[in-house]
Amino acid sequence: MPAIRTASFTESVIREMTRVAQQHGAINLAQGFPDFPMPEAMKEAACAAIHGDINQYAITWGAPALRLGIAEKYRRWYDMQVDPDRHITVTCGATEAMAAVFLALIDPGDEVIVFEPWYENYGPDAILASATPRYVPLEPPHWRFDPEVLRAAFNEKTKAIIVNTPQNPTGRVLTREEISFIADLCIEHDVWAITDEIYEHIRYAGGHHVLATWPGMRERTVTISGLSKTFSCTGWRLGYAIAPERESVAIRKVHDFLTVGAPAPLQAAAAVGMSFDAEYYNHLSLDYRARRDSLLPVLADAGFKFSTPEGAYYVLADFSALSDKDDTTFGKWMAAEIGVAGVPGSSFYHAGSGRGKNMIRFAFCKKQETLDQAAERLAGLTARV
Ligand code: GLN
């Protein structure tokens, strides 16, 4: 009999929809991974590292060259001084970073505030750490939080708040004012901020505000990000957590006993990517803007309602003008009959919330030809529902 803790979360719906897409030969706009190649220079560096015999464990908390590259990035982009020896832990993706940070910082019974809809991993992370999630809604259509609802969520049990911007699945980019409001509440209530900034370089509107750089926040923030989205290498599983020294020691211990370390040759290649100049990032954003602007009119013409994503590469679309089906039925029907797969909206809400059942998330991190094929198929949708 499996342990009770595993019974309280379900299989990942995102990855399930990838399997459903494969089963029906549907275009996979479900799981958020690019179907175009990652940068050539990094691929070459990875092959060179393997041939150069960098095939044994890296230092548990990350190869020195990669940690240096990460520290340099924070100095260059965000004017944030990070000590690569004391503050950075390189992990197997931002996913492992988030789980390790939960296990390292949160005690059983602590409350963790999460904006909802949310990226599905935060729920199981909370369960694994025996934490109690407390949900604060981002309200459609603009996906903003009510400041008073957020304030009311803070109490003496609150240990941390998860702040994901740009946000998966809504595409919201939190404003300077929203970040300041969150920072003030964290300071007032002595609460940690755990940020998920994996989409920091994929933005169409607004700046990226790093909570750790706010006055009084550095000592109570763990900044999580990774290479998967910035360098289109989700299969490399490289992420990191930046935390104050004492918390980094705890995060590194958890990380060590979970995985020992992230893949050594890929860390060597990642250091090459970290040194790319601004032109790389400009292209990344412009290319994603073109992909977004290609898919959105197609969805609008097909009858979906949504607000334009400000960042990340997802759109959370309301299909209630198209169908009365629930999200899972509609999502599976779309994959099977229309040949385009998305993720049912309810998987971004906690069980029992009853929300998200009229929504489906589409990912547009795809080649133009993939988006064109999806457009052809979606053109037939209205006639079929
Ligand atoms: N972050 C991506 C998404 O939301 C991929 C999730 C995953 O499968 N790890 O689709």
Nearest ligand 1 atom to alpha carbon 363: 10
Whole-prediction pTM value? 0.96
The angle subtended at Cα 137 by Cα 313 and Cα 363, nearest 5°, is 15
Q: What angle do the packed helices 40-51 and 264-274 form, to 10 degrees?
A: 140
Q: What is d(CA 208, CA 175) in angstroms, rounded to the nearest whole number?
A: 8
Closest CA to 385 of 310, 328, 320: 320
Q: How many residues does the chain have?
A: 385
Ligand 1 centroid, distance to 115 Cα (angstroms): 17
Ligand 1 centroid, distance to 12 Cα (angstroms): 9
From first to last of the 385 residues of the chain, give the pLDDT tens digit: 898 888 888 889 999 999 999 999 999 999 999 999 999 999 999 999 999 999 999 999 999 999 999 999 999 999 999 999 999 999 999 999 999 999 999 999 999 999 999 998 998 899 899 999 999 999 999 999 999 999 999 999 999 999 999 999 999 999 999 999 999 999 999 999 999 999 999 999 889 999 999 999 999 999 999 999 999 999 999 999 999 999 999 999 999 999 999 999 999 999 999 999 999 999 999 999 999 999 999 999 999 999 999 999 999 999 999 999 999 999 999 999 999 999 999 999 998 899 999 999 999 999 999 999 999 999 988 888 8
Ligand 1 centroid, distance to 199 Cα (angstroms): 12
Nearest ligand 1 atom to alpha carbon 18: 8
Choose one of 22, 33, 315 to mutate for the ligand 1 pocket test, by most ligand atoms within 8 angstroms of C-beta. Answer: 33
Q: Which residue has its alpha carbon closest to ligand 1 atom 2?
A: 32
The predicted pLDDT at position 140 comes to: 93
Choose one of 14, 22, 28, 364 to mutate for the ligand 1 pocket test, by most ligand atoms within 8 angstroms of C-beta. Answer: 14
Ligand 1 centroid, distance to 320 Cα (angstroms): 25
Residue 16 contacts by C-beta under 8 Å, 6 or more apart in sequence?
A: none
Q: What is d(CA 27, CA 66) in angstroms, rounded to the nearest whole number?
A: 35
Q: Which residue has its alpha carbon closest to ligand 1 atom 5?
A: 32
Ligand 1 centroid, distance to 14 Cα (angstroms): 6
Q: What is d(CA 226, CA 171) in angstroms, rounded to the nearest whole number?
A: 18
Residue 286 and residue 302 in contact, taking contact as beta carbons nearer than 8 Å: no
Report the half-sphere exposure of 196 (CA within 13 A, side-chain side).
Answer: 29
Residue 176 and residue 207 in contact, taking contact as beta carbons nearer than 8 Å: yes
Which residues line the pocket of ligand 1, CB cutoff 6 A? 14-15, 31-32, 119, 168
Residue 95 contacts by C-beta under 8 Å, 6 or more apart in sequence?
A: 121, 237, 239
Ligand 1 centroid, distance to 94 Cα (angstroms): 11
The predicted pLDDT at position 24 comes to: 97
Ligand 1 centroid, distance to 119 Cα (angstroms): 8
Nearest ligand 1 atom to alpha carbon 12: 8
Residue 317 and residue 361 in contact, taking contact as beta carbons nearer than 8 Å: yes
Q: Which residue has its alpha carbon closest to ligand 1 atom 1?
A: 32
- Where do runs of H (alpha helix) occur along 57-144? 64-78, 93-105, 122-128
Nearest ligand 1 atom to alpha carbon 168: 4
- Where do runs of H (alpha helix) occur along 139-175? 147-153
The predicted pLDDT at position 5 comes to: 87
For the chain, which domains are there? Answer: 4-38+279-384 (3.90.1150.10), 55-273 (3.40.640.10)
First to last CA, the chain: 42
| Bridging pattern class, strands 343-344 and 340-341 | unpaired
Ligand 1 centroid, distance to 245 Cα (angstroms): 29
DSSP label at 85?
A: T
Nearest ligand 1 atom to alpha carbon 30: 10
The predicted pLDDT at position 383 comes to: 81
Q: Which residue has its alpha carbon closest to ligand 1 atom 3?
A: 32
Closest CA to 170 of 140, 125, 190: 140
Residue 96 contacts by C-beta under 8 Å, 6 or more apart in sequence?
A: 237, 239, 255, 258, 259
